[in-house]
Structure 1
């Protein structure tokens, strides 16, 4: 991997993506743009801290040479954003702006951590699914050399600011895995570390020209395969 730009490096999944990239001998320069400094550090990390997200697209365009791959795990919650309108600005509008800036800058591959259920029967009535769906559609329309969409279920892990009901979901999914088998848990949710490793694995395959499709969608089983099963081997 020649160079990668990671957006969302301070979130639960993003922090794992960053540490995975920095630890990988296969990854070259790693750029980040975030509102606060990422926790992971390393000699190949080039971090830009910019509180004004309206400037992120121009910060992306200023990276020279442009990264070959952009990975976005950017997202927030309605509660943290202060309402659905503000959440839409981050989860949808900012991701769309960054994808367009990436395409214009000459980025070849784009990896986006979306969410399960974006194409379900009721998704058109769920604002969160609408946000993710809109970003997915934009990325597809931009026709990167390779676009990868990850659709994890419940994201398992310890967040700095717990989501409402998050700890209960974590314990429920993990408990079902112990009771009924890991396969049951894997269908419901995936560990943040596994999602991160799947994103990095998919990005590497895209850069090597080994992605199975120009627009590659990773559902839960694919995430577990790339991020845990094949990652271990």
Structure 2
């Protein structure tokens, strides 16, 4: 038998075929709604039967909704955790880069300070050595002015010689009265001129540093210039003449 059925959801009518049962399960061909149709006891094709929707399983719906919420929460936590981890890692990289840059700047600054300190130390050492050379030049010049170009007796000034230099000038027996000390003294420190002009030699006297511990003494008179080289040595804090040539 055929029956006309009206869907309770979309309100549209459709036709079903039944074999005389009291009830029949069917599905709306328009909206897909599941229906349970109560069939009349007598065939009345034109009568619309009363249909009842199949009750949905609320437990399954609640379970599915809970699972969706749980999955959503887990996804949010996972994404949030990854984002937090990425942010922390980025911060760590930034901090490491900052510390490395700071260390490089400090190392560069330390290197510059070391170079500057080394340069300053070298400059100070050069100034000290230059001042020492100038001081020795003054000593040698004063020695010549007082002990060579003025004095007639060098005995007083022998104390400014090392034992080696004294022996070189006066010989092994330096205390022998027969030794002409002035001739030996002038022969070592003076010029080869037959008549030394002491005033001209004093006026033109000049002492300059040489190599190492040697100093150059310029002796000029009557347009003729001669040089003596004096080697100095420091003994117990005192500057002494150690060699002459």
Given the two structures, how large is their TM-score scaled by the length of structure 2? 0.17
Is the strand fraction higher in 1 or 2?
2
Given the two structures, how large is their TM-score scaled by the length of structure 1? 0.18
The structure having more radius of gyration, on CA atoms, is 2
